[in-house]
């Protein structure tokens, strides 16, 4: 291990060999999922109408700008571990591009007349389902590396709108989106379940957890993964907010930050889930909405919320790591020193796509850990492989485990004692990968690490 110099450690990892999984896991039968009963021609028509609806000026510029340089390929973790050309990010947009060239582009009439771009078929859409749902986490690394500035990840998200309209999305994503729309949570953390959990956590951990306060400066939200799988994150949030003396609350009319509408391509569900938090914040007069350790929740509200609302949001939106860093800078949050080395896994939607690069590192510095940066790191860090709904899509498990080895290699190369992240979805992916490979590393929550090391006022 490199001696501490007060500066982050960065070193390139050597390839590692990992044993095959010792646990036998049944491989899901390969399939193309379809929702609803409709003729194939109608599915194609619905997809094409949705594609055309998303072909605005920006998308058109992107479509005309690709120079086929291939730089996006080596930026993609799915291509990196397979070297299969079909996983080249820009190729994942080919049916979207076909639709643009034939139906919307400046030379659409010529393309149709000469059949320069073939007509999109339902068979092509079924094949495409695997490419934009199973082998894309919308992590944005390809967008970052594109020399022409094409936001490939954003185009994939737009393309998913058409796939949802055609009823051609992975069934797991369809079902959890429907559950969230109908019950308020994709994982069963309904308002009643959430309220019961808060009461249990409050009693069990002897911490006050305000709920449905009519007036509060801060509205906190949680992801369903935290509520159901990592409830210590709920407790950690309460302890930190109470420690800081903040006027805050959870609200049953707007607590679920997870937004599977965004991941599945169901724009109506995305807006519905976003507006629950917006309306709850407005109802209690919140000046700030703090989002949990969930990358896609951050994208959905911080960067897309105003579009859903139709005007600028009447409150600040902060990821919990940004809030913690702000409190550290203002001297309000003092922490005990953790005498260990750590490495930080950058959640794609928080860091690369969201821009909150230094905030978690400020918090780690306040915790006194010896930071060993991965290589590559920060905005160029490799995705964990589970974002974009991939970890919920079990058809993609085999491919996802291949990409997870990149993270194992990165972390092992740092020699750090504590892997830390600030996204529960990443954490779930790590826990699953750890179990699959019988790996001896455990991912830690930055939020929980802070809550465990608060310096209480002596008074």
Q: Domain limits of the chain?
A: 40-169, 184-329, 334-451
For residue 179, pLDDT over 70 is answered with yes
The pLDDT tens digits for 370-419 are 999 999 999 999 999 999 999 999 999 999 999 999 999 999 999 999 99
Q: How far, rounded to the nearest angstrom, does the alpha carbon of residue 379 sit from its chain's CA centroid?
A: 14
Distance CA 426, CA 294 (A): 8
Least confident of 35-39, 233-237, 340-344: 35-39
Share of the chain above pLDDT 70, in %: 93
30: confidence class by pLDDT, cuts 50, 70, 90: low
Among the listed residues 69, 267, 70, 67, the one whose alpha carbon sits nearest the alpha carbon of residue 159? 267
Distance CA 106, CA 348 (A): 35
Hey, which CATH number is domain 40-169, 1.10.3470, 1.10.10, 1.20.1440, 1.10.1060? 1.10.1060
User: Which fold is adopted by the domain 334-451?
Assistant: Rossmann fold (3.40.50)
Q: What share of the chain is helix, strand, coil (3-state, %, to 5)?
A: 50, 10, 40
The pLDDT tens digits for 67-121 are 989 999 999 999 999 999 999 998 988 888 888 888 888 888 998 888 888 888 8
Q: Quick check: 207 and 235 in contact, CB under 8 A? A: yes
22: confidence class by pLDDT, cuts 50, 70, 90: very low
96's torsion region: left (phi>0), alpha (psi -120 to 50) or beta?
alpha
Cβ count within 10 A of residue 293: 32
pLDDT of residue 29: 52
Average pLDDT, the chain: 91
pLDDT of residue 458: 53
Q: Quick check: 223 and 426 in contact, CB under 8 A? A: no
Tell me the two tokens of residue 106.
């400046």
pLDDT of residue 28: 45
For residue 31, pLDDT over 70 is answered with no
Among the listed residues 388, 455, 399, the one whose alpha carbon sits nearest the alpha carbon of residue 423? 388
Residues 238-251, mean pLDDT to the nearest whole number: 98
For residue 443, pLDDT over 50 is answered with yes
What is the pTM (predicted TM-score) of this model? 0.90
Residues 303-311, mean pLDDT to the nearest whole number: 96
Residues 423-450, mean pLDDT to the nearest whole number: 97
pLDDT of residue 100: 85
Instruction: Decide whether 184-329 matches 334-451 in CATH topology.
Output: yes
Residues 134-150, mean pLDDT to the nearest whole number: 96
Residues 415-429, mean pLDDT to the nearest whole number: 97
Least confident of 36-45, 201-210, 316-325: 36-45
Distance CA 340, CA 417 (A): 6
pLDDT of residue 456: 83
For residue 427, pLDDT over 80 is answered with yes
4: confidence class by pLDDT, cuts 50, 70, 90: very low
Cβ count within 10 A of residue 124: 16
What phi, psi does 384 have (nearest 5°)?
-70, -15
Distance CA 304, CA 318 (A): 13
For residue 5, pLDDT over 60 is answered with no
User: Which fold is adopted by the domain 184-329?
Assistant: Rossmann fold (3.40.50)
pLDDT of residue 2: 34
Q: In the 8-state DSSP scheme, what is residue 395? A: G
pLDDT of residue 263: 96
Residues 424-452, mean pLDDT to the nearest whole number: 97
């Amino acid at each position: 291990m490199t001696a501490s110099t007060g500066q982050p450690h960065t070193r390139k990892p050597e390839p590692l060999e990992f044993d095959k999984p010792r646990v036998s896991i049944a491989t899901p039968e390969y399939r193309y999922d379809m929702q609803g009963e409709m003729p194939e021609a109608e599915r194609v028509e619905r997809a094409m109408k949705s594609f055309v609806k998303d072909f605005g000026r920006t998308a058109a510029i992107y479509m005309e700008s690709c120079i086929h340089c291939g730089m996006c390929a080596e930026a993609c973790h799915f291509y990196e571990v397979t070297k299969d050309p079909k996983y080249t990010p820009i190729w994942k947009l080919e049916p979207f591009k076909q639709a643009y060239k034939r139906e919307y582009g400046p030379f659409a009439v010529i393309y149709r007349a000469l059949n320069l771009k073939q007509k999109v078929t339902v068979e092509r859409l079924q094949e495409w389902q695997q490419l934009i749902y199973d082998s894309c986490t919308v992590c944005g690394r390809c967008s970052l590396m594109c020399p022409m500035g094409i936001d490939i990840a954003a185009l994939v998200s737009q393309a998913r709108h058409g796939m949802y309209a055609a009823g051609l999305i992975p069934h797991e994503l369809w079902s959890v989106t429907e559950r969230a729309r109908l019950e308020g949570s994709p994982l069963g953390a309904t308002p009643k379940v959430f309220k019961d959990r808060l009461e249990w956590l409050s009693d069990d951990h002897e911490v006050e957890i305000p709920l449905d306060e009519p007036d509060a400066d801060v509205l906190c939200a949680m992801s369903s993964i935290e509520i159901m799988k990592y409830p210590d994150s709920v407790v950690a949030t309460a302890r930190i907010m109470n420690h800081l003396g903040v006027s805050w609350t959870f609200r049953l009319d707007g607590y679920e930050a997870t937004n599977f509408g965004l991941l599945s391509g169901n724009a109506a569900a995305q807006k519905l889930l976003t507006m629950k938090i917006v309306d709850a914040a407005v109802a209690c007069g919140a000046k700030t909405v703090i989002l949990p350790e969930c990358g896609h929740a951050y994208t959905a509200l911080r960067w897309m919320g105003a579009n859903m609302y139709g005007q600028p949001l009447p409150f600040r939106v902060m990821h919990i790591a940004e809030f913690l860093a702000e409190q550290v800078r203002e001297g309000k949050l003092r922490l005990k020193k953790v005498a260990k080395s750590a490495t930080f896994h950058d959640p794609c939607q928080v860091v690369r796509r969201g821009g909150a690069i230094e905030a978690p590192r400020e918090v780690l510095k306040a915790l006194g850990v010896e930071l060993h940066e991965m290589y590559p790191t920060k905005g160029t860090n490799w995705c964990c492989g589970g974002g974009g709904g991939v970890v919920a899509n079990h058809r993609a498990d085999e491919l996802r485990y291949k990409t997870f080895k990149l993270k194992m290699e990165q972390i092992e190369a740092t020699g750090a004692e504590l892997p830390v992240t600030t996204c529960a979805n990443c954490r779930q992916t790590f826990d699953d990968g750890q179990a699959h490979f019988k790996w001896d590393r455990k991912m830690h929550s930055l939020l929980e690490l802070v809550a465990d090391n608060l310096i209480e006022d002596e008074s």
